[in-house]
């Protein structure tokens, strides 16, 4: 692979390490970047560094935010005793867009997947259990309906059951294998309203 300069190879390699980008796309992107005006490349590089340096986990729900505590957790009008557990910040955004959910969230940043070697210790589960020591009345598990999402839901419900806190799972109006972020708001709300006890 010494067709291109070592510099380009290095760039291609970095880009190919990103999710959803194969080696062909990585090459295309690398050449595109090289052909872009210097100022635009600098803007892009700066935006990446800036986001990396300034975005952090909310200290309560672990979503990505610019502040210590995200706007949802900081809002006193939200019901802090109801926690919806989601796999990622995009799923949280999907439920926020409905404007109908008044509780708070907990972002796991992944799901348990024995196949991929992702165990309970690799997602923000300890952090969830810690939150449950406070005044929590219901945990709504809204992980995806994929195998990983279901495995995670089962695992969490078994953990929480002994605490006596109500545990529910969003209804299966969400298609199997469906990523929450691609589902329309009506379906999301129906899934929330039709949630079942675990
Ligand atoms: Zn938060």
Domain for residue 27, yes or no? no
What pLDDT, on the 0 to 100 scale, is given for residue 116? 84
Q: How many domains does the chain have?
A: 1
Q: Ligand 1: distance of its center to the CA of 78 in Å? A: 11
Question: Ligand 1 centroid to 36 CA: how many Å?
Answer: 37
- The verdict on residue 32 lying in a domain is no
Query: Is residue 197 in some structural domain?
Result: no
Range of the structural domain that residue 83 is part of: 77-171
* CATH of residue 156: 3.40.1360.10
Domain-embedded: residue 54: no
Ligand 1 centroid to Cα of residue 8, in Å, is 40
The pLDDT of residue 173 is 55
What is residue 179's predicted lDDT score, i.e. its pLDDT? 66
Domain for residue 129, yes or no?
yes
Cα 45 to Cα 53: distance, rounded to the nearest angstrom: 12
Ligand 1 centroid to Cα of residue 34, in Å, is: 39
pLDDT at residue 38, as a whole number: 97
pLDDT the model gives residue 159: 94
Across the chain, which has 198 residues, the per-10-residue mean pLDDT values are 78 92 94 96 96 94 95 97 95 91 96 90 96 95 91 95 94 62 77 86
Residue 4 domain flag: no
Q: Is residue 82 one of the residues assigned to a domain?
A: yes
Can you give the pLDDT at residue 168?
95
Per-residue exposure over 34-66, b if at least 16 CB sit within 10 Å of its own CB, e if not: eeeeeeeeeeeeeeeeeeeeeeebbebbbbbbe
* Interval between CA 67 and ligand 1 midpoint (Å): 9
Tokens at 85, concatenated: 């557990």
Position 180 in a domain: no
**Amino acid 194: pLDDT:** 83
């Amino acid at each position: 692979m010494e067709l291109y300069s070592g510099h380009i190879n290095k760039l291609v390699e970095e880009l190919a390490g990103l999710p959803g980008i194969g080696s062909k796309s990585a090459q295309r992107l690398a050449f595109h970047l090289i052909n872009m005006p210097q100022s635009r490349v600098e803007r892009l590089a700066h935006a990446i560094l800036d986001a990396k340096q300034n975005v952090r986990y909310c200290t309560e729900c672990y979503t990505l935010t610019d502040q210590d505590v995200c706007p949802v957790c900081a809002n006193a009008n939200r019901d802090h005793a109801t926690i919806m557990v989601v796999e990622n910040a995009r799923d949280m955004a999907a439920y926020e867009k409905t404007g109908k959910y008044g509780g708070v969230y907990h972002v796991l940043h992944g799901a348990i997947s024995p196949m991929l070697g992702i165990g309970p210790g690799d997602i923000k589960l300890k952090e969830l259990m810690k939150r449950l020591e406070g005044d929590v009345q219901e945990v709504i598990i809204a992980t995806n309906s994929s195998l990983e999402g279901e495995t995670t839901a089962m695992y969490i419900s078994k953990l929480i059951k002994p605490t006596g806190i109500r545990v529910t799972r969003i209804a299966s109006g969400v298609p199997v294998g469906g990523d929450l972020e691609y589902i329309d708001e009506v379906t999301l709300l129906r899934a929330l309203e039709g949630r079942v006890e675990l």
